[in-house]
């Protein structure tokens, strides 16, 4: 239809929609979900709770109780507040909207989470990706130089990083935070598996905001993310946030789950134990480079000519295991596969399929 072509932005016309692979019948280790369902008693309790929620009413945008619980359970420091998102993807969008002055530069290490750049593009902001070193550590001198040159309004640092899985050195991040002339958001989506966090340091740096999500600790389908920072920042993001972005069911369920946070901590701990069991097994396979991980996934590179990674991915899929193939994306991820840590039997099947595919 020619009207579509004349109305929709050319860059949008040229894009493809976000693709999620069909995982039917496969062991799903592609998108960093937590493999565990809630304990049955808690699931039943939630079913009863949901039955009582007034879905005929709009959510109350301030979501006071949920925000208070997040501040308390996630140790958000005094003087700081949180603003909620329909997943942290939503936070990335409305935070970018809030800084989107004409020409404001958005910067992030590269490769990193694709949404940082996509949202910059949607708001027509120049995006500068600063290449990571070959071992996926931050090239801090190059980053500081890029900051000096481009004076970014917004810097995103995923800590740990997706898709590489490593946590950048705290010192390097600190240097970037100190040098940045604008806002720095530390995206701690994988914090439950990392141990380190910038949350307790929010008052130390005026320019710092921390973003988190509950997606990786068993609640990906619920869609709840948040930004934590000095109240002055949070008040502004609250203006570009769609007022009813958090639906009443998510709000009610999240409150009940955060009142039982040990259940979430427990699911994350089980995944962490599995990561530590799986990493040495992967290192024992020949033909593979295994990158260090502080997240709930491990990035590996299949040694060999371009195309071998995709062949291994396809062979694993034929063996019933779906992982994520990065060949054809960012050039430094040629032949790389991202393996989400699942439950023990899923991980065993994944290792078997990978070993088989590498033979
Ligand atoms: N940040 C990072 C670094 C991620 O990897 C992801 C999910 N892949 C997100 C944010 C978004 O997660 P969600 O929208 O589920 O909160």
Q: How many structural domains is the chain composed of? A: 2
Within-domain flag for 46: no
Do 216 and 154 fall within a single domain? yes
172: CATH: 3.40.640.10
Same domain, 183 and 204: yes
- Same domain for 78 and 148, yes or no, is yes
- Indicate whether 280 belongs to any domain: yes
Mutate to test the pocket of ligand 1, among 115, 119, 294, 338 (most ligand atoms within 8 A of CB): 115
The binding-site residues of ligand 1, defined as CB within 6 angstroms of any ligand atom, are 32, 87-89, 113, 158, 162, 187, 189, 213, 215, 220, 225
Which range marks the domain in which residue 14 is found? 2-39+262-358
Nearest residue (by CA) to ligand 1, atom 12, is 88
Q: What is the pLDDT of residue 9?
A: 96
Which of 260, 281, 312 is the C-terminal boundary of a domain? 260
In a domain, 29, yes or no: yes
Residue 70 sits in the same domain as residue 205: yes
Which among 211, 240, 260 is the end of a domain? 260
**Residues 288 and 346 grouped into a single domain:** yes
Distance 22 CA to ligand 1 centre (A): 19
Closest C-alpha to ligand 1, atom 6:
189
163 alpha carbon to ligand 1 midpoint, in Å?
Answer: 11
Asked if the structure places residue 114 within a domain, the reply is yes
Residue 80: other Cβ atoms inside 10 A: 20
Note whether 343 and 195 are same-domain residues.
no
Taking the CA of residue 163 as reference, the ligand 1 atom at the shortest distance is 5
**Which pairing describes strands 208-213 and 297-302: parallel, antiparallel, or unpaired?**
unpaired
Largest CA distance in the chain: 58
Ligand 1 atom nearest 215 alpha carbon: 15
57 C-alpha to ligand 1 centroid (Å): 29
- Residue-by-residue pLDDT tens, the chain, 359 positions: 789 999 999 999 999 998 889 999 999 999 999 999 999 999 999 999 999 999 999 999 999 999 999 999 999 999 999 999 999 999 999 999 999 999 999 999 999 999 999 999 999 999 999 999 999 999 999 999 999 999 999 999 999 999 999 999 999 999 999 999 999 999 999 999 998 999 999 999 999 999 999 999 999 999 999 999 999 999 999 999 999 999 999 999 999 999 999 999 999 999 999 999 999 999 999 999 999 999 999 999 999 999 999 999 999 999 999 999 999 889 999 999 999 999 999 999 999 999 999 98
- Any domain includes 318: yes
Residue 285 lies in a domain: yes
Distance 7 CA to ligand 1 centre (A): 30
Backbone φ and ψ for 215, nearest 5 degrees, come out as -65, -35
**Same domain, yes or no: 106 and 248:** yes
Task: Give me ligand 1 centre to Cα 225, in Å.
Answer: 9
- pLDDT for the residue 62: 94
Query: What spacing in Å lies between the alpha carbon of 89 and ligand 1's midpoint?
Result: 6
What separation in Å is there between the alpha carbon of 200 and the centre of ligand 1? 21
- Strand blocks (E) in 141-194: 154-158, 183-187
Ligand 1 atom with the smallest distance to the CA of 85 is: 16
Query: Do the domain assignments include residue 45?
Result: no
Q: Is 127 found in the same domain as 201?
A: yes
Pocket test of ligand 1: the residue of 34, 160, 188, 215 to mutate, having most ligand atoms within 8 Å of its CB, is 215
Structure tokens that stand for 332 in this block = 């430094």
CA dihedral over 225, 212, 199, 182, signed as positive or negative: negative
Cα(148) to centroid(ligand 1), Å: 28
Same-domain check for residues 184 and 266: no
Q: Give the CATH number, domain containing residue 290.
A: 3.90.1150.10
Nearest residue to 334 (alpha-carbon basis) of 297, 298, 308, 295: 308
Task: Looking at the structure, tell me whether residues 162 and 251 fall in a common domain.
Answer: yes
Q: How many CB atoms lie within 10 A of CB 170?
A: 12
By alpha-carbon position, which residue is closest to atom 5 of ligand 1? 162
Q: Among residues 227, 260, 293, which one ends one of the domains? A: 260
**Quick one: pLDDT at residue 18?**
87
Q: How much is the CA Rg of the chain, to the nearest whole Å?
A: 21
Among 93, 94, 162, 218, which residue has the most ligand 1 atoms within 8 Å of its CB, making it the best to mutate? Answer: 162
Q: Are residues 256 and 269 in the same domain?
A: no
Is 16 part of a structural domain of the chain? yes
Q: Which residues contact 214 (CB under 8 A, 6 or more apart)?
A: 222, 224, 225, 254, 257, 264
Cα(88) to ligand 1 centroid in Å equals: 6
Instruction: Judge if 198 and 280 occupy the same domain.
Output: no
Ligand 1 center–CA 291 separation, angstroms: 20
Give kind and range of the element (H or E) at residue 83: strand 80-85
């Amino acid at each position: 239809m020619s009207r579509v072509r004349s109305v929709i932005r050319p860059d949008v016309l040229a894009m493809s929609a976000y693709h999620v692979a069909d995982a039917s019948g496969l062991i799903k280790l592609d998108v960093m979900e937590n493999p565990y369902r809630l304990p049955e008693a808690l699931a039943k309790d939630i079913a009863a709770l949901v039955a009582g929620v007034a879905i005929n009413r709009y959510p109350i945008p301030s979501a006071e109780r949920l925000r208070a619980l997040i501040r308390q359970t996630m140790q958000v420091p005094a003087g700081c507040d949180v603003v909620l998102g329909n997943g942290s993807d939503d936070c990335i969008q409305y935070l970018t909207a809030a800084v989107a002055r004409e020409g404001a530069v958005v910067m992030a290490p590269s490769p990193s989470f694709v949404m940082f750049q996509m949202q910059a593009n949607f708001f027509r902001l120049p995006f500068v990706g600063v290449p990571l070193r070959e071992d996926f550590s931050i090239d801090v001198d190059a980053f500081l130089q890029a900051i000096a040159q481009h004076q970014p309004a917004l810097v995103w640092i995923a800590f740990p990083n997706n898709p590489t899985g490593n946590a950048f050195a705290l010192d390097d991040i600190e240097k970037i935070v100190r040098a940045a002339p604008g806002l720095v958001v530390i995206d701690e989506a994988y914090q439950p598996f990392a141990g380190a966090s910038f949350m307790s340091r929010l008052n130390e740096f005026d320019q710092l905001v921390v973003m988190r999500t509950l997606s990786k600790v068993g609640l990906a389908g619920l869609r709840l993310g948040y930004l934590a920072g000095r109240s002055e920042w949070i008040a502004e993001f609250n203006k570009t946030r769609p007022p009813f972005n958090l639906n009443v069911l998510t709000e009610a369920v999240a409150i009940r789950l955060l009142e039982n946070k040990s259940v979430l901590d427990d699911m994350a701990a089980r995944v962490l134990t599995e990561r530590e069991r799986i990493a040495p097994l992967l290192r024992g396979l020949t033909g593979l480079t295994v990158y260090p991980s502080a997240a709930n996934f491990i990035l590996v590179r299949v040694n060999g000519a371009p195309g071998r990674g995709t062949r291994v991915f396809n062979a694993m899929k034929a063996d019933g295991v779906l992982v994520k193939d990065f060949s054809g994306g960012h050039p430094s991820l040629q032949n790389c596969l991202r393996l989400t840590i699942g439950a023990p039997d899923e991980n065993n099947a994944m290792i078997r399929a990978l070993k088989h595919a590498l033979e």
